[in-house]
Amino acid sequence: MADFERKITTALEESQEDIVSFIQTLVRSPSLANDEGPVQEVIQGKLETLGLDTEKIIVKFDKLKDHPAFCDDGFSPDSRVNIVGKWHNDGGGRSLILNGHVDVVPTGPENLWNKSPWSGYIKNGRIYGRGSCDMKAGLSAGIFAVQVLQSIGFKPDGNIMIQSVIGEESGGCGTLTNIVKGYSADAAVILEPTSLKVCPIQSGALTFRLTLSGRATHAATRWDGVSAIEKFNLIQQSILQFENERHDSFNEAYFESKDRVAPINIGTIKGGDWHSTVPESVVVEGRFGVFPSETTSNARHAFEDFISKISNNDPWLKENPPVIEWFEGQFESGQTDLDDPLIHTLIDAIVKSTGDSPIIEGVTYGSDLRLFTNHAHIPAVLFGPGDLRLAHAANEYVEIDEVLKTIKIIANMIVDWCGGTFD
């Protein structure tokens, strides 16, 4: 083990209490969409204590609306800000972006939580609370990787940029703002919860709304009407088969399961307005998965053709076809070549830091990775602490040990990627 690696380990041990406390502070600052300001102030303050050149960037939709990757998430843009911290050094080394989002999803019924979703309490080596896993711990890991390196006298040859962004959960307007502003680097690590797996491939996801019409009548004469809910059932019964058929035509080795790459999910169903009335309409919203090898346009056409095929087999739906709307999150797929130097450097850092052989895996969710790879043309990878399955659930948590491992890995990666010297 090199001397600087031992110093990183020692500095990390000495900083553990500070790391845990900082994550708790972030969790205890609720940051639902359009209310990210207070937590961004905490992060900016932390970056300033590290001597980073910080900038507060207002997310303005009028600057983004004409961009092909823009998704209007329906929230007020002018009150929402990104924070960027820059560790400058023009020594000629490669530059790196460490990216993480602070926006979190709603908690759901709070009675499902053991304690307040905003408590940040610790139990059995875990930090609990909304955003702990997704992804305030990951963002914190990037920040403390810089702090640890500074504490042992490291000076990078390449520039390092920490990006704390908003809007990832609903379309990526935060990261897109930074890209449009011109922020760039030789590579980006997005510190999403991957359970320390190296994830350079992501599926896409499209949000859709499906509206079906029926014919209302009194429930006592149900046969004289047409239930919009029953008509949707015809579609719903075929969705799983459609999903399976799509997966049968897909060939990609780097996913946990070949038949779980681009799932189709029905998230909400709203139909009818009275229990004894045949429902005249139903509105369904859901998520349509996009394969890494598939364009969003082709994915939309596939779903639209499926709906048309089902409708043409039913006399009512043929004459009253469902209306399809695409709205909010329209996430492209994205990927970084597995032979890219970024991937090799991260893998080497994992082996060096932990002795473990890393797992390379694609992810089935949309993320800001596709903005870096497809629009900024920056190789990017998802890597961070936390289990995604906990991310939007009650009693969300992150393992403290995973956070510490992430910091060590990212610190070692910075040394290898950016180059530099030690005092």
CATH code, 154: 3.40.630.10
Residues 302 and 320 grouped into a single domain: yes
Comparing 82-96, 172-186, 209-223, 302-316, the range with the smallest average pLDDT is 82-96
Q: Which domain holds residue 172?
A: 3-202+333-422
Burial environment of residue 253 by CB neighbours within 10 A (0 to 12, 13 to 18, 19 or more): exposed
Predicted confidence band at 142 (pLDDT cuts at 50, 70, 90)? very high
Residue from 73, 103, 192, 399 carrying the catalytic annotation: 103
Q: Would you state the pLDDT for residue 335? A: 95
Instruction: Tell me the C-alpha distance between 139 and 146, whole Å.
Output: 11
96-101 and 188-190: which strand pairing?
A: parallel
pLDDT tens digit sequence for 95-114: 999 999 999 999 999 999 99
Full-model pTM = 0.90
Residues 141 and 256 in one domain: no
Q: Give 20-54 pLDDT, tens digit per residue.
A: 999 999 999 999 999 999 999 999 999 999 999 99
Instruction: In whole angstroms, give the CA distance from residue 43 to residue 31.
Output: 12
CATH of the domain at 302: 3.30.70.360
Tell me the average pLDDT across 143-159: 97
72 is catalytic: no
Whether 56 and 172 map to the same domain: the answer is yes
Using CA atoms, how far apart are residues 266 and 398, in angstroms rounded to an integer?
A: 28
Tell whether 379 and 322 lie within a shared domain: no
Number of structural domains found in the chain: 2
Query: 302-307 contacts: CB < 8 A, separation 24 or more?
Result: 302/246, 303/206, 303/208, 306/238, 306/242, 307/210, 307/235
Sign, CA dihedral 104-43-34-382, equals negative
Q: Is 423 a catalytic residue?
A: no
- Domain match, 195 and 227 both: no
Domain boundary among 295, 315, 331: 331
User: In sequence order, what E strands does 191-280 have?
Assistant: 198-202, 204-213, 264-271
For residue 79, pLDDT over 90 is answered with: no
9 plus 110 within the same structural domain: yes
Q: Which of 274, 303, 331 is the last residue of a domain?
A: 331
For residues 177 and 262, membership in a common domain is answered with no
Does residue 397 contact residue 127 with C-beta atoms inside 8 Å? yes
Which domain-ending residue is among 331, 346, 375?
A: 331
Q: Which of 36, 73, 168, 169 is catalytic?
A: 168
* Confidence at residue 1, expressed as pLDDT on a 0 to 100 scale: 55
Q: What distance in Å separates the CA atoms of residue 142 and residue 227, rounded to the nearest whole number?
A: 53
pLDDT digits (tens, 9 = 90+) for 276-298: 999 999 999 999 999 998 999 99
- Whether the pLDDT of residue 90 is over 90: the answer is no
Could you report the per-residue pLDDT of 206-239, keeping only the tens digit for each? 999 999 999 999 999 999 999 999 999 999 999 9
